[in-house]
Structure 1
Amino acid sequence: MDEQQERRGGGRPRRWPRPWADDSADDEPRTAPWPWRSTLLLTVLVLAGSTFAAHAQEGERAALDPFARVLLLVACALLLWRRHPVAVVFGTAITAAVYLGAGYPYGPVFLTVAVACFAAVVAGHRRAAWTALGILCAVHLLVAHWLYRWLPPAGDAPASFAREIVVTGWVVAIVAVAELARARREQWARDRAERAQAARRRADEERLRIARELHDVLAHSLSVINVQAGVGLALLDSDPEQARTALTTIKSASKEALGEVRQVLDNLRAPGAAPRAPAPGLDRLPELVEQAARAGLTVEVRGEPPRLSPGTDLAAFRIVQEALTNVVRHSGSRHARVHLERSGASVRLRMDDDGPATGADAGGSGNGLAGMRERAAALGGTIEAGPRPDGGFRVLAELPAEQREDR
């Protein structure tokens, strides 16, 4: 499997569900519903509260007349358009200013301005909310300390400083609560973005892991099949028994490859489920040597397979597998050496062949060395690969014996 094509998506629409996909990222933005219930509840509260305030301030402020009730209804009805917070906050502030200038009782009408201001600040229109509040406060100061002489009710007196302190306190409280809500909403948005980014990162890592697994399984098995198919064709007439042995090797290699591919695909269809078979490790090195022998490659193993964490054990096995696959595909040597060494908290793997390179690719994708380096880097290890001074090719891997848990 070509990993570069896998990363680009292959240019084809997928026909099976992606368990790593972030479904929330595909959701279409929906139109916010009309806030009928909250607006109706607020309207009842404002009308009832204003009636009570009119009785409490009877003789001090003008009585509620039809015009006053229209203003109250308009201020409440504007809140239905909270999806347009700038227009709503200015509309409620102007309506409240007209209500205040007409001398009607102080009361819940200012609650409509508070709700509109809150919605504007939370939506990010802080300047509009502050400007609307500033306009309302300026109108209140003008009416309470200067225009009261010419505005109803007749015989009105200037507002006391105690009332001004109360009004100022309410304004500060509204702004503080709105700013707190805005900050919390922005924090939630950042958290959602970070979670989405983490989900995308995990999806990318999962795609890359699956691509590496499929590449390693298929490249090794198909290389063995390719070599044995060539042997079988060459000896079909002259040595039927040897051709039969080659076909038996092809059958065995293809069966094992199908089993490993099925295991990878089962994990893909049911992410998080326990695998049906344990992941391969260096304990299966004898099987790898036997497969290489069937492909005509003699492998000499030096050192005992060390005890490693499951992730490191799998990576070490795949690196050795890919190195031997490259010898079968690209080297004229029919002899390879694998050296295993545990040193402290790390394990060293050295794979050598005597060359020379044949230039044959056996239909490979050319991503073997890149996949090995990615496996090692994911664990915090390193890979060095290149020609040896005395000929042949060497792959040297150094991996931590214990898998990192900080990912």
Structure 2
Amino acid sequence: MEEQRAGNCGGPPWARGGPPRLRHWEARRKATGVPWLSTVALTVFVLVGTAFSARNQPDREPIDALARLLMVVGPAFLLLRNRWPVVCVFGVCATVLVYFAGGYPYGPLFFVVAVGAFAAITSGHRRAAWWAVGGLWVGHLLVAHWLYRYLPPRGDDAAPWGQELVIAAWVVAILAASELVRVRREVWARERVERAAAEKRRADEERLRIARELHDVLAHSISVINVQAGVGLALLDTNPEQARTALTTIKAASKEALGEVRQVLDTLRAPGEAPRAPAPGLDRLPELVEQAASAGLSVEVETEGERAALPPGTDLAAFRIVQEALTNVVRHSGSRTARVRIAYAPGRVVLRIDDVGPATGSDAGGSGNGLVGMRERAAALGGTIEAGPRPDGGFRVLADLPVQPKETM
């Protein structure tokens, strides 16, 4: 009752799905899977069309009660074409063969066979449809050329072979058209699956990208906050001014981290809109050096080659790689000095971040996925990452990223 009241309230009839009787038929068809309307329409067409065609076939048996019954039973099998297409096509073909054997006039009963075969083939029962229609054609050959002596109408002659060629062409056309529709439906279904898989893959890649961005932003900023919080706690009583400086650094780092996190999450809230701030790149390297200095790390930056403008993806990856490498120095190294070397070459940019060491051996927090994230970023661009101990101690990260410089800066 609730659904009925909801469906009948508000809006004109065409906005509510049409007249109540039509909505009732449509709801019944969807609930049962039985095509009532089309089957009734086809039955009426067969009865009326056969009555008209019988006027031009005086040599055939007149339409009687049995003929009308067969013209109703044949289309009635079409009610099963959605749930049991094999039963439908064999029942239709058997009924039509009995009709022909009775010597009744030719008419639109052929369309019933076409609909049954189409339903069977498009639902995947190709072999059953071919056997049923082929059996009907062979049965018609037997009736028209060998059994006509024993079947009505009396005094009938064998059918001309040219007629059989027309019927054979008609059968092949029906089956070929049905096969074409079946193939097209399979192609469409496969394309839908591929589109859904591609959309899911893009969604997974976007989630991975966002997770990587959040990891890089939070890992660096929280590492700085962790170090400065330790300094503040150690100097809170003995050197309040330096502790105040550490707290100021914590406030600045957390503010910047919140801003970058908000920028990343804005892409989730408003997909398709441009980000409010440009993605970070190597032009923000001085800010990164300043943040590292606030954590007590001295960073020496060296640039080789003629600096070129990098594509946004490469620029972001380069910045994040340097950021992650410096974060690891802050977390795990006993050294307070790191060296960053950026070498520009035709078609590539090479980043080298050196930590003179030694490692502290302490756990400074983090997920341990920093190097994995750097390698994924480089691999996504077709580049490489090498990370490991240096021969003279310490640790080195070496990234080689392919790039097509757009213009010289």
State whether TM-score is above 0.5: yes
Match of 2:344 among 342, 345, 356: 342
Does residue 1:275 correspond to 2:275, yes or no? Answer: yes
Match of 1:122 in 2: 122
2:197 alignment counterpart: 197
What is the aligned-residue RMSD (CA, Å)?
A: 1.5
The one-character-per-residue Cα deviations of 1:246-296 (angstroms, maximum 9, x if unpaired) are 111111111111111111111012212110111000000000000000011
In structure 1, give the amino acid aligned to 2:258: L
Per the alignment, residue 179 of structure 1 pairs with 179
1:62 alignment partner in structure 2: 61
1:316 equivalent in structure 2: 318
Shift of 1:70: 1.6
Out of 370-379 and 302-311, give the one that drifted further. 302-311
SS of equivalent residue, structure 2 residue 360: coil
Q: Which moved further from structure 2: 296-305 or 387-396?
A: 296-305
Q: Residues of 2 paired with 1:317 and 1:307: CA distance?
A: 13
Q: Which sits farther off after the overlay, 271-280 or 300-309?
A: 300-309
- Structure 2 CA distance for aligned equivalents of residues 307 and 361 of structure 1: 38
Distance 2:388 2:377 in 1: 18
Measure how far apart 1:53 and its partner are: 1.6
Aligned 1:30-45 pairs, distance under 5 A: 33-45=33-45
Please state whether the residue corresponding to 1:390 is helix, strand or coil: coil
Q: Secondary structure of 1:339's match? A: strand
Paired position in structure 2 for 1:365: 367
Cα shift at 1:139? 1.2
Equivalent position of 2:15 in the other structure: none
Measure the CA separation in 1 of the matches of 2:71 and 2:334. 92
Corresponding letter in the other structure for 1:316: A
| Residue 402 of structure 1: how far off its partner (Å) | 3.5
> Bigger relative contact order, structure 1 or 2, given CA contacts below 8 A and separation 6+?
1
The equivalent of 1:77 in structure 2 is 76
Instruction: Please tell me the residue identity of whatever aligns with 1:277.
Output: A
CA contact (8 A) 1:303 1:339 kept: yes
Q: TM-score, normalised by structure 1?
A: 0.89
Q: Counterpart of 2:227 in structure 1: which amino acid? A: V
CA distance in 1 between counterparts of 2:100 and 2:294 reads 96
Alignment partner, residue 111 of structure 1:
111
User: 2: distance between equivalents of 1:156 and 1:316?
Assistant: 91
Trace 1:197-216 onto structure 2 (pairs within 5 A): 197-216=197-216
Residue 37 of structure 1 deviates from its aligned partner by 3.1
Alignment of 1:207-356 (within 5 A): 207-303=207-303, 306-356=308-358
Q: CA deviation at 1:55?
A: 1.3
Q: Does the 8 A contact of 1:312 with 1:402 survive in 2?
A: no
Residue type of the alignment partner of 2:67: A
What is the SS of the residue equivalent to 1:303?
strand
Matched residue type, 1:63: P
Rounded Cα–Cα distance in structure 2 between residues aligned with 1:249 and 1:307: 31
Q: Which is further off, 243-252 or 36-45?
A: 36-45
Within 5 Å, give how 1:163-174 maps onto structure 2: 163-174=163-174
Q: Conserved in 2, the CA contact under 8 Å of 1:34 and 1:80?
A: yes
Secondary structure of the 1:165 match is helix
Rounded Cα–Cα distance in structure 1 between residues aligned with 2:212 and 2:37? 55
Q: 1:44 to 1:260 in 2, by over 3 A?
A: same
> How far apart in 1 are the matches of 2:41 and 2:314?
62
Partner of 1:397: 399
C-alpha deviation, 1:32, in angstroms: 7.8
Distance change (3 Å), C-alpha of 1:31 and 1:384: farther
Q: Which runs of 5+ in 2 are unaligned?
A: 1-29
Deviation at 1:80, TM superposition (A): 2.0
Per the TM alignment, residue 38 of structure 1 is displaced from its structure 2 partner at its CA by: 2.5
Partner of 2:153: 153
2:26 match: none
Q: What amino acid is the match of 1:355?
A: G
Q: TM-score, normalised by structure 2?
A: 0.88
Identity %: 71
What CA distance in whole angstroms lies between the structure 2 residues aligned with 1:338 and 1:37? 77
Give distance in 2, aligned partners of 1:346 and 1:217. 25
Alpha-carbon distance between aligned partners in 2 of 1:37 and 1:347, rounded to the nearest angstrom: 69
Letter aligned with residue 333 of structure 1: S
Corresponding residue of 2:137: 137
State the Cα distance separating 1:31 from its structure 2 match. Answer: 6.8
1:287-327 superposed Cα distances (whole Å, 9 cap, x missing partner): 00000000111000001764100111011101110010011
| Structure 2 SS opposite 1:62 | coil
